[in-house]
Structure 1
Amino acid sequence: MADDTSALVTAADAVSQLLYGLVGWAMIAMGVVGLLAALLRPDRLTPAATVAALSLLFVACGYFLRPAGRRRWDRRRSISRFGRDRTVEERIVRGESHVCVDCDDRMDEGLVRRYREEVLVAGVPVYTRSEGRNHYCPACAAGESGDRAAPTPQAATERPSTATERS
């Protein structure tokens, strides 16, 4: 019974993501059509400005209704951030088989680091330039994190693994 429920929940989530995406893109399309109508036929300034403002609102709402737009919004930074930004996120994985990037050993648990380089506008990522993941076994992860008794000079100059860096 629990498998049926989880299958139903998974299907409902998939349908929800699809519908949010469709509604988001429809709102973006309506906003673009409204903007074009306001720009191509500016007979009177007040109605054209009103249509343009509502169209921009439709585009913004459509962007954030889309699942990808919401994920980007969840990764936002300070509103004063513009330009390229690098981030590294860490999480512990268990039950997945991967190869450690340092020692090339097979592992079933360890640490995964996701790195991204994104372009920010007012703190919101608008474009991801590069993204990747590195998997580490527990021994290599402990060695890189600085949990060793005597840190090396190289480890002291490395940036923290959860750092956000601006270039």
Structure 2
Amino acid sequence: MSANSVEYKYHWLCGLFITLLFFSVFNFIIDYKLIFNGSVKELLSSATTISSIGVGFLATTKAILISIKNSKTMKWLKDGGHYMTIVDHCMCSIHWCFAFAIYSSICLFFNYDNPTYFHFMVIVLWIFLASTAFSSSYRIIKLFSTILKNDAA
């Protein structure tokens, strides 16, 4: 697979689509101040926790991937040149989840009591990171479950 294929881009394209949809709805249709209902800090705190758990989970999947290196599925993946693609996808997911955790932590320092358009744009970027981290994690979980199913057979 070349780095220019859709497989390498769809996670952030999905994130971009969801972000543009969110931005359009809350910027043009509904007043953006409605998203700041007092629970933004709790949402950001939960997102930090969940994305940090995601980083740990994805690092564990990478360790499991290394530990099953002698299976026939892994040999088939290495012979076909797909092993490094899977490792790249796993590292990509770890990076997106880590970036989402860091950004969510930084967003906790803002005061959302009197929201401005700046706060809305902070949340728009947060939506992009959340949806991109989720879609890249989904990609590696789907790939990894396929590998484990083939390895068990």
What is the TM-score normalised by the length of structure 2?
A: 0.33
The structure showing larger relative contact order (alpha-carbon pairs under 8 Å, at least 6 residues apart) is 2
- Higher relative helix content: 2
Structure whose alpha-carbon radius of gyration is higher? 1
TM-score by structure 1 length? 0.31
